[in-house]
Structure 1
Amino acid sequence: MVIRAVIPSKLRTATEQLKFSPAIVSGNHVFLTGSTGGDMNGKMPSDAEAQFRNAFDKIELILREEGLTFQSVVEMTTYHIGLRSHFDLFDKIRQECFDAPYPAWTAVEVAGLRREGAVIEIRIIASTEANP
């Protein structure tokens, strides 16, 4: 099976520095690397809402690179620092992105994330066949 990387131009510098692919297409699925809440310039805001929106913005950028939307997402795993303190806000923003049928979702409380100051990391699997 052939696999290929998905690298939007706005993420190329980070991709080259960190030696990773923002997403990999394998078969009929696109596997996205976990997205934290840093902005497109790599700055991590201290505000949780800004982090949530930034993470979903990066996910949308990667999906669009493949001609996909949030409706293509079949599975989402979210890793949270302070899950209970910000769950309602995160869930509100999540619902702005997704419509029924909603993706399968697991939310996990973690002790830490790679990026200093990050409170969220979102991992996505999308289907190339699920786009309306």
Structure 2
Amino acid sequence: MRFVMSYLKPLLLGLSLLSLTALAHSAAQNIPTLDGQVYIQSERAKQAYDQWHFAPARSSGDLVFFSGVIAAAPAEGADTELFKKNLRHAFGNLETLLKQAGLGTEHVVKINSYHLFNSPLFKGTKEQHVAAVMAVKDEFFKAPYPAWTAVGVAELFADQGLVEIEIIARKPAAKP
């Protein structure tokens, strides 16, 4: 198991750090399911889907569930501005998947975020961490805001992770 984890962690971190440019130029894929679709935004995400058996996003009925996306720090650590840049990247990845599903941030009904406040990889306080997340989140989400649960954790799966963000979106009702 430790052997598998040593390969899984870097792979998941790599997926979370995909550039928006790479996402824009990759072949998106939708896989039909019994009651919805799986959304895969890139070839790299498809490889993770095949190897590790998890979907970047999956719809069921009118809900779309998005796997967590990690805002990471480089090994030397991140100040507040670099952290904000990495948060924008993470929220941007979620926005790309939302668009693939025909949705936007206005369709997000729930955000769950998991925060590593005491990481030596962030050169700031808990208050600065929270303020950075709030500021960047507000760049992507406008009123009416989604429900949000933010949880402080002792560790994230990705070694370089500072926060992991997952969302749930609802497809709008079809108009008659």
TM-score category, normalised to shorter length: 0.7 to 0.9
Could you list the runs of 4 or more consecutive aligned residues of structure 1 that deviate by over 4 angstroms after TM superposition? none
Task: Pick the structure with greater CA Rg.
Answer: 2
Q: Deviations over 1:76-97 (max 9, x none)?
A: 0110011544000110000000
**Structure 1 Cα separation of the partners of residues 102 and 115 of structure 2:** 28
Letter in 1 for 2:59: V
Task: Verify the 8 A CA contact 1:51 1:120 in the aligned structure 2.
Answer: no
Alignment match, 1:56: 91
Q: Deviations over 1:76-121 (max 9, x none)?
A: 0110011544000110000000111000011110011111110010
Q: Which moved more, 1:77-86 or 1:5-14?
A: 5-14
Q: Deviations over 1:25-81 (max 9, x none)?
A: 00000000011125xxxxx54432232112101101110111111101000011001
Q: State, as a whole percentage, how many aligned pairs show the same letter.
A: 36
How many residue pairs get aligned? The number is: 125
Alignment match, 2:25: none
Alignment match, 1:25: 59
**Structure 1 Cα separation of the partners of residues 110 and 36 of structure 2:** 19
Q: Which moved more, 1:67-76 or 1:81-90?
A: 81-90
For CA contacts below 8 A with separation 6 or more, give which structure has more relative contact order.
1
TM-score scaled to structure 2, two decimals?
0.65
Alpha-carbon offset, residue 15 of structure 1: 3.0
Unaligned regions of 5+ residues in structure 2, if any? 1-33, 118-125
**Structure 2 Cα separation of the partners of residues 16 and 37 of structure 1:** 23
Unaligned regions of 5+ residues in structure 1, if any? 39-43
**Structure 1 Cα separation of the partners of residues 51 and 141 of structure 2:** 31
Q: Quick check: which one's helix share is greater?
A: 2
Alignment match, 1:100: 143
Cα-Cα RMSD: 1.8
Alignment match, 2:100: 65
- The yes-or-no answer on 1:4 pairing with 2:37 is yes
Alignment match, 1:81: 116
**Structure 1 Cα separation of the partners of residues 36 and 99 of structure 2:** 18
Q: Which moved more, 1:45-54 or 1:10-19?
A: 10-19
Alpha-carbon offset, residue 22 of structure 1: 0.4
Alpha-carbon offset, residue 129 of structure 1: 1.0
TM-score scaled to structure 1, two decimals?
0.85
Task: Verify the 8 A CA contact 1:81 1:120 in the aligned structure 2.
Answer: yes
Alpha-carbon offset, residue 3 of structure 1: 3.5
